[in-house]
Amino acid sequence: MKRLFLALTIAGITASGGWGAEILGKVKTELRVSPTNGDIVFNELSGSLKFDTQINDNFYGMVKLGFRYSGQPKGQSTLNNILIPQELAWSSSMLPLDILIDEAYFTYDNFIFDGLEFTVGKQRIVWGTADLFNPTDIINPGDFYDLLSFGKKSASVAVNTTLHFNIAESESGLQFVYQPHSPIAQMNITMIALMESGILQNIVAGILPNVTSFSDGSPGWTSPAAETPELSIYNASYGLRYKINLGPLDISASAVSRINDLPFIKNISIQQQTIIDMGGGTTNVTLNGKSYTLAYYREAEAGLDFSWNTGLFVIWGEAGVTFPEKTVSVMRSDAEVIVIPVMITNNVTTIGEQTYISNQPYVKYTVGGDCLFDGGWYINFQFAHGFFTERGLTGAERLQDYFILRFEKNFLDDKIKLFLTGILNVDTFGDAFESSDFGAYFNDHYGAVMQFGISYKPTPGLDITLGSMLFDGAPGCTVGRMKDYDLIYTSFEYAF
């Protein structure tokens, strides 16, 4: 309630005082259900209130508040329906509500001299011209709270300056962004569960070749931790971007130094019991405990993007060359080794290291286009190398390939819209063509998503949507690991 009171107070101050602030809002409720088992996988009411005002010709201010209300109790530590008994009396668990300051900043045009734009505060800084897949849009961290909100970013606190000028009648801009602390992405429990599943698979894969039998007797993950970047000026992020407009063509080049907003697995620790039967010639291993630690690392990126309006299609391309720091994952195993029938017991500790992300540069890129035809038809097509969560040239997170195609058709003066989206994911097409059996490799390393639905706008501002998403594929690629996450969804959204 204190957070709600604070948010309402800020809103009241912003909207009062003779500032003449404009107020815009949005409220959305969405329900997602698994058609496989009937589980409700998402049930949330969310929205925002935006207060902005043009104080004078050069000075603009904006505050945007957001909220999320979950429709079911949520444990403070488990983030699911498992609560401790005391939480049944806590409003924060029984009526989970998040109040967020989505954005809060001011902009001063012609600051100090003409053409200099100066913005300070929590702001969304959009870089790149591509649609959805933007490898150069890395100033703000990813927002993966909702797993299906592909490409969503969170605003972050920054000093943002842009010098506007003309070169031979072409509009240009030189932008510099400084963030005193590199922000990190908000993850979701599905991402964490998939990550933990991958860690366990690697643990088991390292044990199985050397044993007769294996069993997991651990109660779960013991005290996992995430070491977020320290509050230090040495963990700042900064970026420089030059952009120019050449009529139908927009081009920009950028450079960024930041801490990658997603963690890597720094340490894995396991406790196991190994029983060696000299008489039977067997080795039996029981996993008694497991834990891990996450951490973050610094990287730099050089980017280039363009957008070209041909008059019929809008075509874009975007590429980012990333230069990461080398990261190492340390594996520690504490084993109690028992030899029978002589009953010799010994404690053995082994420590191994392997490169998680090498310092070898890698390139994320996307090319595509879209077009709105007469009669209400819309098409969007693109190819992307590298998903938002992928990085590096090797390992489980290496860059993969994606084909995306979307169709839309509007009816009845745009009141009804049918849409169909397909995504094909392969890890990777290059490896598939180089393999001796293209078909076999493809079947083991592909994933596909099909989304289809209908939206209805009975009155201005109100949008009602019904749709479905179906996943398929093999566990050898990013989308294939989502095979069991089919869903049917409906949403109601009102903007005012």
What confidence tens digit (pLDDT) does each residue in 410-427 have? 999 999 999 999 999 999
Record the tokens describing residue 476, joined without a space: 């050898």
**Tokens, residue 45:** 């009411």
Residue 373: is its pLDDT beyond 50? yes
For residue 113, give the 3-state DSSP assignment: coil
Is the distance from CB of 105 to CB of 125 less than 8 angstroms?
no
The Cα 282–Cα 277 span in angstroms is 5
The tokens for 211 are 């044993």
What gap in Å lies between CA 73 and CA 82, rounded to an integer?
A: 9
Max intra-chain CA distance, the chain: 89
Of 10-24, 75-89, 150-164, 465-479, the least confident: 10-24
Q: Is the pLDDT of residue 165 over 80?
A: yes
From CA 410, how far away is CA 238, in angstroms rounded?
42
Residue 2 pLDDT grade (very low, low, confident, very high; cuts 50, 70, 90): very low
pLDDT at 120 over 90: yes
Residue 64: the pLDDT is 96
Structure tokens at 272: 């196991």
Of residues 479 and 74, more confidently modeled: 479
Domain ranges of the chain: 1-106, 400-496
Strand partners, 411: 416
The pLDDT tens digits for 318-360 are 999 999 999 999 999 999 999 988 888 899 999 999 999 999 9
Q: What is the pLDDT of residue 414?
A: 92
Residue 9 has pLDDT above 70, yes or no: no
Q: Which of 194, 95, 191, 114 is nearest to 149 (CA)?
A: 191
* Token couple for 233: 């000026």
pLDDT of residue 5: 46
pLDDT digits (tens, 9 = 90+) for 218-254: 988 999 999 999 999 999 999 999 999 999 999 999 9
Which residues are within 8 A (CB) of 184 and not within 5 positions of it... i.e. 6 or more apart?
141, 228, 229, 259, 261, 262, 263, 296
**Residue listed under structure tokens 């493809």:** 442
pLDDT of 19 strictly over 70: no
Average pLDDT taken over every residue of the chain: 92
